[in-house]
A and B are shown apart, each in its own frame.
Chain A
């Protein structure tokens, strides 16, 4: 019987990578991701994990090394955050474009300047279009579970895509939570061995990464979009099987107390649990409100979102990133456009907040829901509103 233990979430992520029996870890230190890779290097040093640990000289080289190791057929894991992900930015496109299923934990953190080591989703949003499968997790258990799922999903031959697991820096990475750390035997049952279809091998030479002339590039990109969009099926299948084995089921959007809700709030990551408490409090006071916790960011779950909001009058979307000079929160603007073609759709109100580690409390989320409802009823929606700015 699996024990539920109190453990730092970063350590649980490292243990998940170990249980996945990764072959290569290539990583560079950056706060708040460091505990994950420190733990993995300790496991390698002690012999607990048989893997090659490459202590690279930059994140650019971290992701580049990952490309090389996946290309020879090695299961590969890395972790990064913020500026680190920005430095590896161009390499991220190559991982997806060349169908190299790296798994990366991202300890979400703000971007410079000013430098901030604290959490928000600016780093996630800057890599939105890199072609990776991207999953937000809400708590430590989800982080542990989804690292295992990430290997299963990414390495599936129908996908062969890199996967990012987004966990909030500090608010998740550095907290101790009760987590079920599953048994190796069960993990092995869930996660088959990685067999890359055409690895670099002198016995069967392949050319990987040829350049795409204009008469072929468009078709390659179309194929990439089709495979990422249709990877949703692989993701749903993996989550279903994970649930059947371990008893915890995941979905692209978690609907929390949405029954009969006329006002819905949408959040991502660890803030969703705070928002749940706000919803509980408002329900206790008799308000018909609910929460949509967005887990699957790419591929974007259009159908699930349309289904989830169909009976609501107001949808308040809370983003932890800002598109400067643009529509405000990237998630809100995508949700808005996903609903635009519907005949009956809720009014969408966007808030941006929780930047650079700024906490939004239960009272804060209650205020966001109430204010969003008022804006919607008055018809005074703007592109977005910044929440919690001291003026």
Chain B
């Protein structure tokens, strides 16, 4: 990563499409991820935003942080609105009423909008082969409404609707595998990303947006407010999620899995958990349970990749 310090100005456009001055919390890695995403994509983009933090912090009437054409309607329907944008554009281009130029339709939503309430609309849009990119900015709970659990909340995390207590460890279910669900639609491109790895994220976003047909990217977005970690550690916590194997960075191109950041020696999950207040209550036993699951899932992912590589040979 160090080598990029020299080249950064040449690698990234200066133009911001998600302007500063919005009301995101200090240390919000989701705002950072949004900024990186739309810096990478440039101007020929239409953004469809689900209700959630990013919509609320960036567009209180009459202000906006968006320098791109942007639409927000409801919570669970970003993929459906994006379908209309995509099909509408295609019809108008076909009928000669819009110039024939590639415009990337990008729907964005949080983990609640994606893996809970909007899952049906996303599945429908992926299955119909709409030409769009869906990016889930996953901060692992309903942060906008006050840290309520979602199906993307990790096992053992304490949230306001699955709080830790004498009789509960907090979240008692394992995180829903949303990238896996997207990949099961056999779409051309699925990836995971994290703004702690900006170049990896931007490459994937560009790839996803340029892929004809549907693409899905799942971005882990550290939320210092909801995760109860220090704001200045947001980037580090994101790195640790990857280095511990809690959130591996991979892509699935036409069904082929590939790790984009390979971690030869995973760090113990405790390195990741201990920086976050939401896991503070966990017993050694639960930490071990999490460690076992992470190790197993990571091994499974690597096995899948190796198996595919073998087939290729």
| Residues of chain A at the chain B interface (Cβ within 8 Å) | 23-24, 26, 50-52, 54-58, 60-62, 64-74, 76, 90-91, 94, 98, 200-202, 204-213, 216, 220
Write the B65-105 contact mask toward A (1 if CB under 8 angstroms, else 0).
01111111110110111111111111110110110000100
- With the chains together, A70 CA to B124 CA distance in Å? 20
Closest chain-A Cβ to B83's Cβ sits at a distance in Å of: 5
> A71 touching B85 by the CB < 8 A rule?
yes
Known: A74-B91, A91-B77. A54 touches B84 (CB 8 A): yes
- Residue in chain B with minimal CB distance to A219: B61
Choice from A68, A74, A209, A211 contacting B80 with Cβ under 8 Å: A68
Q: Does A67 contact B62, Cβ atoms closer than 8 Å?
A: no
Q: A55 contacts which of B67, B74, B81, B128 (Cβ < 8 Å)? A: B128
Contact B128 A213 (CB under 8 A): no
B80 touches A56 (CB 8 A): yes
Whether B95 and A50, one on each chain, are in contact in the complex, defined by CB atoms closer than 8 angstroms, is yes
Q: How far is the CA of A52 from the CA of B121 in the complex (A)?
A: 18
Complex interface: chain A residues within 8 A of B63 (CB): 210
The stretch from B3-11, B44-52, B147-155 touching chain A is B44-52
A54 touches B94 (CB 8 A): no
- Give CA–CA (A147, B84) in the complex, Å: 21
A-B interface, 3 closest residue pairs, ranked by CB to CB distance from nearest: A68-B84, A57-B124, A69-B88
Of B45, B72, B83, which one neighbours A26 at CB under 8 angstroms? B83
Minimum CB–CB distance from A30 to chain B (whole Å) comes to: 16
User: Are A58 and B124 touching (Cβ within 8 A)?
Assistant: yes
Of the four ranges (under 10, 10 to 19, 20 to 34, 35 or more), the interface on chain B belongs to: 35 or more
Q: Are A50 and B91 closer than 8 Å at their CB atoms?
A: yes
> A74-B92, A208-B70, A211-B59 in contact; A64/B124 too (CB < 8 A)?
no
The residue of chain B having its C-beta at the shortest distance from the C-beta of A198 within the complex is B69
Residue contact B66 to A64, C-beta cutoff 8 Å: no
Asked whether B84 lies within 8 Å of A24 as measured between CB atoms, the reply is: yes
- Report yes or no: B61 in contact with A71, Cβ–Cβ below 8 A: no
Secondary structure at chain B's binding surface: helix, strand, loop or mixed?
A: mixed
Q: A61-B80, A90-B74, A210-B61 provided; 6 other pairs, C-beta below 8 A?
A: A55-B128, A72-B89, A72-B98, A73-B98, A216-B62, A220-B61
Contact (A57, B123) CB under 8 Å given A64-B81, A68-B84, A202-B46: yes
Q: Which residue of B62, B85, B125 contacts A210 across the interface (Cβ within 8 Å)?
A: B62
A50: chain B residues within 8 A (beta carbon): 91, 94-95
Does residue B55 face the partner (Cβ distance < 8 Å to A)? yes
Question: Using Cβ atoms and an 8 Å threshold, which residues of chain B touch A216?
Answer: 61-62
Q: State the CA gap A82–B69 with chains docked (Å).
A: 34
Asked whether, in the complex, the Cβ of B46 is within 8 Å of the Cβ of A52, the reply is no
Query: Is B299 positioned at the interface, with any CB of A under 8 Å from its CB?
Result: no
A61 x B69 contact (CB < 8 A) = no
In angstroms, Cα B72 to Cα A154, docked, is 21
B123 (CB) vs chain A CBs: closest residue: A57
Tell me whether A209 and B83 are in contact (CB under 8 A).
no
Residue of B nearest to A212 (CB): B61
Q: Which residues of B contact A58 (CB under 8 A)?
A: 120-121, 124
Contact check, A24 vs B62: say whether CB atoms are below 8 A apart.
no
Contact B91 A68 (CB under 8 A): no
* Contact B60 A76, beta carbon cutoff 8 Å: no
Residues of chain A within 8 A (CB-CB) of B94 are 50
Asked if A67 and B66 sit within 8 Å, CB to CB, the answer is: no
Please, which residue of chain B has its CB at the minimum distance from the CB of A93? B74
A69 CA to B81 CA, complexed, in Å: 8
List chain B residues, Cβ under 8 A from A67: 71, 73, 81, 84
**A205 near B69: Cβ-Cβ < 8 Å:** yes
Name A60's contact: one of B67, B77, B123 (CB within 8 Å). B77
Pull 13 A–B residue pairs with CB atoms less than 8 Å apart, ordered by A: A61-B83, A64-B80, A64-B83, A68-B82, A68-B84, A68-B85, A71-B71, A94-B74, A202-B46, A202-B68, A205-B70, A208-B72, A209-B73
Contact assessment for A76 and B43 in the assembled complex, using a CB-CB cutoff below 8 Å: no
Report yes or no: A68 in contact with B60, Cβ–Cβ below 8 A.
Answer: no
Most chain A CB atoms below 10 A, which of B64, B89, B90: B89
Segment 102-138 of B: residues with Cβ below 8 Å from A: 103, 120-121, 123-125, 127-128
Chain B hits for A51, CB < 8 A = 91
CA distance A204 to B44 in the complex (A): 11
Residue B56 CB within 8 A of the other chain: yes
Contacts A208-B71, A208-B72, A211-B60; A61 near B87 (Cβ below 8 A): no
The answer to whether A200 and B80 have CB atoms under 8 Å apart is: no
B74 contacts A207, C-beta separation under 8 Å: no
Tell me whether A209 and B71 are in contact in the complex, defined as CB-CB below 8 angstroms, given that A68-B88, A71-B85 are known contacts: yes
B87 x A24 contact (CB < 8 A): yes
**Known contacts A60-B76, A205-B67, A207-B59: A73-B124 contact under CB 8 Å:** no
Q: Are A209 and B72 in contact (CB under 8 A)?
A: yes
How distant is B117 from chain A, measured CB to nearest CB, in Å? 10
In Å, the complex CA distance between A54 and B62 comes to: 33
A97 nearest CB neighbor, chain B only: B73
Partner of A54, one of B55, B87, B120: B87
Which residues of chain B come closer than 8 Å to A202, judged between CB atoms?
43-46, 68-69, 103
Q: Which residue of A lies closest to B43 (CB)?
A: A202
- Contact, CB under 8 Å: B88 / A73: yes
Task: Evaluate whether A72 and B74 lie within 8 angstroms (CB atoms) in the complex, with A50-B94, A60-B121 already known.
Answer: no
